Amino acid sequence: MQPPQDNSGFGGLLYIKAAAGLSVMEEANAQGSGNDAAIETDFGWVANGGLGIDLKNGFRLEGEVLYSINAASAATGTMNSAAVNSAQTQGDISLLGFMANLAYDFNTPYAINPYIFGGAGIASLKLDGVGQNGNVYDSSDTVFAMQGGAGLSTDLTDRTSLDLSYRYLETLKGQFSDASSNPFE
């Protein structure tokens, strides 16, 4: 019996991926004219998808789109030139990223194989109604982003695998403006 024939034109090297998970965001600091606030967020969620090429030498190249969102939970300091100090903070901080990644799969004799990855791209950062008592931020910026991570993968079928991974994503500081059009980052 012969294996199934691949008619994709890429010799079985093309793959798609989809994932969802938990988003944990570090404290955000808004600093600039009339703004010096520390903003904490709750746990959020992240979803991503991508298209890649398995180079069959352990390396994979992929393009990825990801979206994450975290609800603001507390703000302390100064927002829009007004003092804030409350856990009654509202709004969301979200990120929409477009990344180019390079991954390396470690081939092991076991059913679970580790991998590492890194990438770079752009991310649109959005502050949507973040603040309290009318002192809110509604602003966005697109900045350079980079990420790195590691994971474990196991094959469910010859065409499907299940992964568990961790990623750390960092962006350059975004340039935003408050309700009075004062700039901050």
SS (H, E, C) the chain: CCCCCCCCCCCCCEEEEEEEEEECCCCEEEEECCEEEEEEECCEEEEEEEEEEECCCCEEEEEEEEEEEEEEEEEEEEECCEEEEECCCEEEEEEEEEEEEEEEECCCCCCEEEEEEEEEEEEEEEEEEEEECCEEEEEEEEEEEEEEEEEEEEECCCCCEEEEEEEEEEECCCCEECCCCCEEC
Residue % of the chain over a pLDDT of 90: 61
- How high is the mean pLDDT of the chain? 89
Cα distance between residue 185 and residue 178, in whole Å = 10
**Token code pair at residue 103:** 């991954």
| Cα–Cα dist 77/39, whole Å | 9
pTM assigned to the model? 0.87
pLDDT given for residue 11 in this prediction = 55
What's the pLDDT score for residue 28? Answer: 87
Instruction: Give the confidence band of 159 by pLDDT, cuts at 50, 70, 90.
Output: confident
- Provide long-range contacts, Cβ within 8 A and 24+ apart, for 39-42: 39/72, 39/74, 39/75, 39/89, 39/93, 39/130, 40/72, 40/73, 40/74, 40/75, 40/89, 41/70, 41/71, 41/72, 41/73, 41/93, 42/70, 42/71, 42/72, 42/73
**pLDDT value at 33 more than 90:** no
Position 90 pLDDT exceeds 70: yes
The predicted pLDDT at position 8 comes to 47
Cβ neighbours of residue 74 closer than 8 Å, sequence gap 6 or more: 39, 40, 86, 87, 89
Q: Please give the structure tokens belonging to residue 157.
A: 């079928």
Residue 43 has pLDDT above 80, yes or no: yes
